[in-house]
Structure 1
Amino acid sequence: MKKIKILSILLASSLTLGSGLLPSYSPLMAAEKDQTQTAPITVTPDPALGAADTQKDLPQRFFQTQSEGGTVSQNISKNNYKTWGNAVNSFIEENEDGSFLRIEQIDSELIVEKYDSDFKKAELVTKVSLPLPIYGGYFTGENARFLVCGESNPEESNEKEVVRIIKYDNNWNELDHVSVYGANTYKPFRSGILQMTEMNGILYITGCHTMYATDDGVHHQASMNFAVNEENMELITQNTEIGCHGFVSHSFRQCIAQDGTDIYLFDHGDANPRSAYLQKIDAKLKKVSKDLHVFKFDGKIGANETGVSIGGIEIVGDNIFTAGNSVEQFGEVYDPSTYKRNLWVSVIDKKMENQIFVWLTDHENLGEWSARTPYLIPAPDGSCYVMWEDVVEIPKSINGIYYYDVKQFFTKIAKVKPDGTIDGEIHTIYGRLSDCKPIVTSDQKLVWYTTEKASPLFYSLDLNQLSPYEFTGYGNIEKCSVTISAVSYNFYDPSDNKTHTGPEVLSVNYGDLKLTEGVDYNVSYSDNVDMGTGYIQITGKGFFKDPATDAADKILRIPYQIKYPTEPEDTEEPTGTPYQEPSWLVTGTPATTRKPSATKKPETSLSPAATQKPAAPTAPKKTSYPKRTAKPASSSAPVAPEKLTNISLVNLKGKKMMITWTKQDNISGYQLQYAMNKKFTLKKKTLSCSKYRSMKLVSGLKKNKTYYVRMRAYVQTDSGNLYGKWSKKMKCKIRK
């Protein structure tokens, strides 16, 4: 077979060819190949980038397991709510043999699947059909399983079955049930989350409903509560009327707990009361002995938007733990849906006499990050784990339907002690939550699952050592080794206008871990329409694409030679593939690929043409979390910010003044001054305002006094702050 001269791909020092026949880490290699040879070639990373440590760099690969064969659903982030809650569909249980049950309500059926201790494959146990069309909730008791469902009652008939509570054995055989009729219910489980607990043989249920229409024709929403004897399934107490025991008007989330003696109800109310509201009630749900507004909400009574969600209640030792999130409360003059949320935890003694209230996050109101609805998981030492998602979410709308596009996400885990302090540190893992509440297993593992139109993705974290799971930065695609089918590609028809492909990418590995195309990376080809040098582009995806950086930072370009399959007659042959500075060593836009220079056909020599040596590699970029950095400064001299405009002053109740303005771009912050005279010499105060905000609330003012306000923006420079001009002076009289 006739041989022709082929110059192998040229690699800068950040990528090298490594195979059994080629020397490792050589930036420039030439090999004589037969045109029929297509042996795979492995491109290895520059050792200067450091070894690929999968346990350290990709910790999620060791606490996440993608199962196979499970029923497809979509429960990711379903525990989070903005205004009112939804039914909890997903549950996980540990079996005595170390296997797990997944129980999930999907399409009017309760799907029960068994997974082994490795969470690999699903085995269908059973499907339980709902006897009534509206699912309420599910609970596993000590000796039985319970399912609650219901049906609407548009005729407002007291003879209509609106709620059914069903008892099953552990083999999912129905044992008994109790039906609730009428119950002042127009529609059960409307805009809320039904929860259950048990104590001394009694099943307790808290949920919500829309009630019979009042004189104004409105079906108002409220909480409802039941107590049922588990042995004979007889109804002990039914609290469904207006003003009944434990009643909360407009209850958007219901939580329940018990301490062996009393029952604790925790509701998110927007009317009466308008707060995160805790009630202590006796075992028959007949008398509330204590109540507490854990966290009061601003805004008008009955306004659905509160800017708050509550995550649950747990009785741990002698304390009551509750948790939730909230925007900063500003009175009645703002829309809380536009502000970001922070995470709070409350620790209350069981006598409900003392409360410790702490904030665990400090996100900017108008910034990027927001804390979602949390979970509480009791710890055996009297503390309580708090878990929540921290996300960057961008509001969007399609055809008038509003939703949030999540750009970046992490799950946070904090252990809060009874005194409100954090035990250790707040851990950050690369993962998501769902409406499957995490459980603590017999070997002290924290286990839950998420689904995203696929079989469940299981999470399992050792509570005794959370540090190894810590997120330390996104994966670096440049540290991957890539195996390609060949170093050259036959270009059959250089006259057509199609974009030809190139050598096949056989695998991409991070250390010993094989990555998945479409999940961890994408493959594309460039500069491959003419003879010369083409490029395979490996683009990081998922964990290998930092959403806070430019996508170009996550592209790995592997050069290959484009050539004819046979040597054409009466034509000039390229002497070789010209060297081009690879994109990973170039700052800014990569240089345009130079086309091969034409020379006369060589007579006998098969030696490669001389080639430039590659530039030295640059140091890899570091990744930090969270990324909320300002835009890079211009190389030109800094320019003072423009004068602020559209400043508005409003006197709020409580001797407060709210200042709003038009936010500016490319600044470092704002300076605000207020005083009791025009010359700003009497009682002058100077405040700093974040660049992320366009509003400031000033309190502690004097009634019937007039305050003058001015503002200016500034940018930070090497020599200090560069201020813009003061705005026009504004004044506000404090009348309330």
Structure 2
Amino acid sequence: MKKFAGLILIAFLFVSAVSVDAYASNNLKAKPTASNLYLNSESIGINGFNIENSNYFKLRDLARLFLGTSSQFDVTWNSSANAIEITTNKTYTPASGDNLIKTYDLNKTYWASPSNSKIIIDGKSYQIKAYTIDNSNYFKLRDLGEIIPFDVKWDSKTNTIQVYSKVLDNTYKTKISNELITNALSDYYSTTFCASSKLQYVFKNSNETLSVADVVENSLIISTYDNNFNLISEKKIPFELPILGTFYSGKKYNYIAFGQVNYAEDDKIEVMRIVKYDKDFNKIGSVSIKGGDSMTQIPFRLGEARMAENSNILVLHAPHQMYKDGAGLNHQMQITIVIDTDTMKVTNNINGFQANHVSHSFDQYVLFDGEAPVFVDLGDASPRAVCINIGRPFNSNTNFDDGGADVADYPNVRFTPDKGMFYTPVNLFEIPGRYGDNYTGVMIGGFEISKSNYLVTLHTIDQAKFEDINTPVQRDIMVCILPKGQFAKDSVKKVTIAKYVDTDKTSSTPKFVKISDEKFMIIWQEYKKAGNAYKRNNLKYGFIDENGNIIGDTKELEGYILSDCQPIIINNAVTWAVNQKNIRTIYTIPL
């Protein structure tokens, strides 16, 4: 009996050994990936396994990470073909359990069995090596990169895997040496009630090179690129005061407006400083504005300051919050500062309510029409409208008392009569709702001047359905056209560029680019509803003539992304920069 039992034990051990050997021959050892993984230079944390010196990752993890980039793709199960299906350039739809992250022991070995799953990419079948680990399919990173596509780079010195989304036509990934703040537009940025200071500015130099100015901590980093977008120089401009108001690249000089808060409402505190630089950013001079000069408590609050120049005259049109009034209230409004750049002195009265008063003013634009300054503001009360103030040339002998804003429209407001500061106000787009309700459902996209008209782009909710901030967010894109010399709101023509109200999509605040006196480009990001949120869709753009008439059809670019910077024209292409996940991409639209 004992002999028989021994034979059974030997047989069992033999079968077990054969079974283990058979299992091992069909499966491979897998170790959790110990390498650091980065997507577009940003550290990411997902599970991966190293199998025979190659890295494998879950398909849905990668789809989730690439969402919103030029390499985004969707993953579904094709039941009829019994296959995994990938659709490139499509927004990923998360599956249940996507956010559940398992923890694997780096010191433990796991078994990976070859996967028999078929895979279809954009309708075409592929044979891609894959393994099943813990009931999930893992695919070789480089194999997927070649097909989807995206780039994979290995740095053995740092044990780092760098993954980069694909480069689109007419876009350029550039080198940077500083950590950047992401400035890609989101749907939230486009539906807030006020503008805000930019994180980035792009401008053209006299030698046709491109410079990008980025806000990095308490400094402005100027990166300059050649015509092939190779980085050729960088310069750091420390903030002279804690707040950056705006940057302006003028014809001969560069200007930066800085500010600091004055909660104590101290007349002697410097609240703004406008600094003049040469084109190499060597400081030439500055002008200081004290709290008592301008009644400013918080400079550059709830809006976006801008500058314009004509000869030796520089105008800063900005938001600010004023000292408390007799009722103990701090009013926010525009402030318009005129500077003689030869002497760097303020030449207008900035203490109190000005003739081009707008309150609250949640966005500010200024351009020169010849020698005359023209201002555009987004107001929520006085007036509640997108409004324009057309000025007289600063060398005019006209006084405020001769006309301009009707004081009767602004009860209990003190204006500052100021020689040469005469304005004709026109409401371009009146906004219903309660007087002073901050939310208007409108954002201004840009202001430009043609030979015969003033043109302002904006996007707006359906104002007929306006209730409050919970009003549906879908916004139509429009352009308002005011003929020069016809200074009445009845003269304003409105043209709808794109309709989104009552759809499952919406638009970003549009960008407005002047191509010539006869042609203008309007650019916007489209967003598509996904559950309770909106996800970035494609970029769209179109053209209008000098009278606001639409030229041709709207065009669409997959994978293109807008940022908060204002596009410019350089080398016959509309050009802007986007910082996303700590990598910079230059986008261009050839003309």
Which of 332, 336, 341 matches 1:230?
341
Q: CA deviation at 1:436?
A: 1.3
Between the aligned partners of 1:444 and 1:363, the Cα distance in structure 2 is: 31
Residue among 155, 176, 190 paired with 1:69: 176
Number of the residue aligned with 1:90: 200
Matches of 2:219 and 2:115, distance apart in 1:
60
Aligned residue identity for 2:343? N
Note if contact 2:449-2:517 (Cα within 8 Å) is conserved in structure 1.
Answer: no
Note the 1:2-81 alignment, pairs <5 A.
14-15=124-125, 61-71=168-178, 72-77=180-185, 80=190
What is the Cα deviation at residue 393 of structure 1?
5.2
Report the residue type matching 1:428 in the other structure. Answer: E
1:161 and 1:189 mapped to 2: Cα distance? Answer: 14
Change in 2 beyond 3 A, CA 1:198/1:96: closer
The aligned residue for residue 247 of structure 1 is: 357
Q: Which residue of 1 aligns with 2:210?
A: 100
**How far apart are the structure 2 equivalents of 1:425 and 1:457?**
27
The 1-side partners of 2:531 and 2:304 are apart by: 25
Aligned residues: 420
User: Which residue of structure 1 aligns with residue 569 of structure 2?
Assistant: 440
**Alignment-mate amino acid for residue 203 of structure 1:** L
**What CA deviation, in whole Å up to 9, does each residue of 1:659-691 have, x standing for no partner?**
xxxxxxxxxxxxxxxxxxxxxxxxxxxxxxxxx
For 1:237 and 1:395, locate their aligned partners in 2 and report how far apart those are by CA, in whole Å: 52
Q: Residue 460 and residue 283 in structure 1: after superposition, are their counterparts in 2 closer, same or farther (change >3 A)?
A: same
Q: How does 1:271-310 map to 2 (within 5 A)?
A: 271-284=381-394, 286-310=420-444
| Structure with max Cα Rg | 1
Name the structure 2 match of 1:352: 486
For 2:199 and 2:119, the matched residues in 1 are separated by 53
Cα distance change on mapping 1:369 and 1:175 into 2, 3 Å:
same
Amino acid at match of 2:236: K
Aligned to 1:117: 227
Distance (Å, rounded) in 2 between the aligned partners of 1:131 and 1:139: 16
Alignment-mate amino acid for residue 481 of structure 2: V
Secondary structure at 1:221's aligned position in 2? strand
Could you report, residue by residue, the CA deviation over 1:107-139 in whole angstroms, capped at 9, with x for unpaired residues? 12010112232224x455211111111110000
Aligned residue in 1 for 2:278: 169
User: Aligned AA for 1:440?
Assistant: I
Query: Which of the residues 172, 177, 188 maps onto 2:299?
Result: 188
- In the TM superposition, what are the counterparts of 1:465-504 in structure 2 within 5 Å? none
Contact 1:321/1:384 (<8 A) preserved:
no
CA distance in 1, matches of 2:517, 2:255: 30
CA-to-aligned-CA distance 1:516-535 (integer Å, 9 cap, x gap): xxxxxxxxxxxxxxxxxxxx
Whether contact under 8 Å (1:104, 1:111) holds in the other structure is yes
Q: Is the CA contact (8 Å cut-off) linking 2:149 and 2:166 kept in structure 1? A: no
Paired residues for 1:424-435 under 5 Å: 424-430=552-558, 431-435=560-564
Distance 2:427 2:115 in 1: 73
TM-fit CA distance, 1:455: 2.5
Deviations along 1:518-575, one digit per CA (max 9) or x if unpaired, are: xxxxxxxxxxxxxxxxxxxxxxxxxxxxxxxxxxxxxxxxxxxxxxxxxxxxxxxxxx
Matches within 5 A, 1:564-583: none
Asked whether 1:407 is paired with 2:517, we answer no
User: Shift of residue 151 of structure 1?
Assistant: 1.3
Change (3 A) 1:288 1:428: farther
Q: Describe the shift of the 1:159–1:408 C-alpha distance in structure 2 as closer, same or farther (beyond 3 A).
A: closer
User: Which residue does 1:423 correspond to in 2?
Assistant: 551
Residues 258-286 of structure 1, C-alpha deviations (whole Å, 9 max, x = no match) = 11121111000001100001110123384
Q: What's 1:267 paired with?
A: 377
Which of 513, 516, 523 is matched with 1:377 structurally? Answer: 513
Deviation at 1:208, TM superposition (A): 1.0
Task: Answer whether contact 2:525 2:536 (CA < 8 A) is retained.
Answer: no
Q: Would you say the 8 A contact 1:298–1:331 is kept in 2?
A: no
Is 1:141 matched up with 2:141?
no
> For the structure 1 residues 52 and 215, does the alpha-carbon distance in structure 2 shift closer, same or farther, using more than 3 Å as the test?
closer
TM-score of the superposed pair, with normalisation by structure 2: 0.65
Aligned CA distance change for structure 1 residues 394 and 189 (closer, same or farther; 3 Å): farther
Structure 2: distance between partners of 1:291 and 1:395: 43
Is contact 2:355–2:423 with CA below 8 Å preserved after alignment? Answer: no
Tell me the distance in 1 between the aligned counterparts of 2:434 and 2:143.
66
- Structure 1 equivalent of residue 288 of structure 2: 179
Paired residue secondary structure (1:220):
strand
1:676-691 to structure 2, matched below 5 A, reads: none
- Corresponding residue number in structure 1 for 2:522: 386
Q: Is the 8 A contact 1:222 1:248 kept in 2?
A: yes
Given the superposition, is the C-alpha separation of residues 16 and 158 from structure 1 closer, same or farther in structure 2, using an over 3 Å criterion?
closer
Name the structure where helix makes up a greater proportion of residues: 2
CA separation in 2, counterparts of 1:428 and 1:137? Answer: 31
Shift of 1:11: 7.3
Q: Take 2:206 and 2:467, find their aligned partners in 1: how far apart are those partners?
A: 55
Please state which structure has a larger fraction of its residues in strand. Answer: 2
Structure 1 letter corresponding to 2:176:
G
Q: Does the C-alpha gap of structure 1 residues 394 and 190 become closer, same or farther in structure 2, counting only changes over 3 Å?
A: farther
Within-5 A mapping of 1:124-135: 124-135=233-244
Q: TM-score, normalised by structure 1?
A: 0.53
Q: Secondary structure at the match of 2:320?
A: strand
**Aligned twin of 2:581:** 453
Q: Do the aligned partners of 2:523 and 2:542 also contact (CA within 8 Å) in 1?
A: yes
Q: Indicate if the aligned counterparts of 1:347 and 1:418 stay in contact, CA closer than 8 A.
A: no
Q: Distance in 1 between matches of 2:328 and 2:531?
A: 34
Q: In the alignment, residue 186 of structure 1 is paired with which amino acid?
A: Q
Q: Output the CA distance in 1 between the equivalents of 2:450 and 2:268.
A: 42
Contact 1:299-1:331 at 8 Å conserved across structures:
no
Deviations 1:203-241 (A, max 9, x none): 011001111111222211000001101111111114341
Q: How far apart, in 2, do the equivalents of 1:374 and 1:240 lie? A: 34
Give the aligned partner of residue 315 of structure 2.
Answer: 204
Give a deviation string over 1:299-344, Cα, whole Å, max 9, x none. 1000011111111211122221101011011376454543311111
Q: Name the CA distance, whole Å, in 1 between partners of 2:425 and 2:437.
A: 22
Equivalents in 2 of 1:281, 1:350: separation in Å? 12
Query: What's 1:647 paired with?
Result: none
Task: Give how far 1:429 is off.
Answer: 1.3
Cα distance in 1 for partners of 2:527, 2:556 equals: 12
Task: List per-residue Cα deviations over 1:42-101 (Å, max 9, x = no partner).
Answer: 99x9xxxxx9999xxx99711222223343221111773520110123111233444321
Flag structure 2 segments of 5+ consecutive residues without an equivalent.
1-21, 27-113, 129-141, 151-164, 395-417
* Match for residue 448 of structure 2 among 314, 317, 322: 314
CA distance in 2, matches of 1:275, 1:384: 23
Q: Percent identity?
A: 23
Q: Secondary structure of 1:330's partner?
A: helix
Asked if structure 1 preserves the Cα contact closer than 8 Å seen for 2:254 and 2:277, the reply is yes
CA distance in 2, matches of 1:16, 1:223: 61
Evaluate the alpha carbon distance shift between residue 217 and residue 355 of structure 1 in structure 2; reply closer, same or farther with a 3 A threshold. Answer: same
Write the letter of the residue equivalent to 1:453.
K
For 1:324, give the aligned amino acid: L
- Is the Cα contact below 8 Å between 1:368 and 1:393 reproduced in 2? yes
Distance in 1, Cα, partners of 2:350 & 2:276: 21
* Contact kept in structure 2, 1:383 and 1:415, CA below 8 Å: yes
In the alignment, the residues of structure 2 paired with residue 73 and residue 378 of structure 1 have an alpha-carbon distance, to the nearest angstrom, of: 28
Q: Deviations over 1:422-464 (max 9, x none)?
A: 11111111212112111111x311110111231311101211x
Alignment RMSD: 3.3
CA distance in 1, matches of 2:351, 2:538: 40
